[in-house]
A and B are shown apart, each in its own frame.
Chain A
Amino acid sequence: NAGVTQTPKFQVLKTGQSMTLQCAQDMNHNSMYWYRQDPGMGLRLIYYSASEGTTDKGEVPNGYNVSRLNKREFSLRLESAAPSQTSVYFCASRRGLVENYEQYFGPGTRLTVT
């Protein structure tokens, strides 16, 4: 039981390049999330998927797209990377959209855009 996994762990991109961050969970959770973590700002929600087949914008969606490929996998795509997207990205999942369900986080992807 691996929980939430993310790939890659580290990535360096040049401005304008594109890439996809992968996330998978093996807990049969319905809801999945992508956050970015910047110093002094805490975790900010980029996009989430309440259930398979649905995606919604979070607090900071500009410059990103997502795909809920199936119940297990939720990917985050940067179409044209910008230095402002340098951050640590965390994927998370939870059983569903009920307020007292815990959220489980992946190990994070550290992205640098030069």
Chain B
Amino acid sequence: ILNVEQSPQSLHVQEGDSTNFTCSFPSSNFYALHWYRWETAKSPEALFVMTLNGDEKKKGRISATLNTKEGYSYLYIKGSQPEDSATYLCAFWNNNDMRFGAGTRLTVKP
């Protein structure tokens, strides 16, 4: 059984704060790690796809790092804004399908 764990489960921050959360995944047979952003009443949308140990990806104020040897990825948001409020999902590519974590629900208060 492949377990993808995300922490924390939920997070409340003030506008302007920087924040980060974690995705843990099996370190053996690694193929790829995906991050998705899921706003309420919408569908998940892809943020990053990471395949190499040490990968670092950035999109605006959001960035992610990957450590395949120890099996974790961090997602960072710099200077959080209310529009960053969403659930952030990570997913581990398992040969033919993806196994998703339960997500970190971020709320940014104005």
A102 close to B34 (CB less than 8 A): yes
A56 close to B96 (CB less than 8 A): yes
- Does residue A42 face the partner (Cβ distance < 8 Å to B)? yes
Q: Mark out the residues of chain A between 57 and 96 whose CB falls within 8 Å of any chain B CB in the assembled complex.
A: 58-59, 90
B96 close to A102 (CB less than 8 A): no
- Does residue A40 face the partner (Cβ distance < 8 Å to B)? yes
Number of residues in A with C-beta < 8 Å to the partner? 26
Number of residues in B with C-beta < 8 Å to the partner? 24
Contact of B96 among A90, A97, A103, A106 (CB under 8 A): A97
Cβ–Cβ < 8 Å partners of A1 in chain B: none
Name the distance in Å between B53's Cβ and chain A's nearest Cβ.
14
Q: How many A-B residue pairs have CB under 8 A?
A: 55
Cβ–Cβ < 8 Å partners of B102 in chain A: 40-42
Chain-A contact segment, one of B13-21, B42-50, B73-81: B42-50
B31 close to A105 (CB less than 8 A): no
The complex places the Cα of A24 from the Cα of B65 at a distance, in Å, of 34
Name the distance in Å between A56's Cβ and chain B's nearest Cβ.
7
The complex places the Cα of A76 from the Cα of B97 at a distance, in Å, of 17
B43 close to A103 (CB less than 8 A): no
Q: Residue-by-residue, is A22-64 near B (CB-CB < 8 Å gives 1, otherwise 0)?
A: 0000000000010100001111110010100000101100000
Interface residues of A (CB under 8 A from B): 4, 33, 35, 40-45, 48, 50, 56, 58-59, 90, 97, 99-108
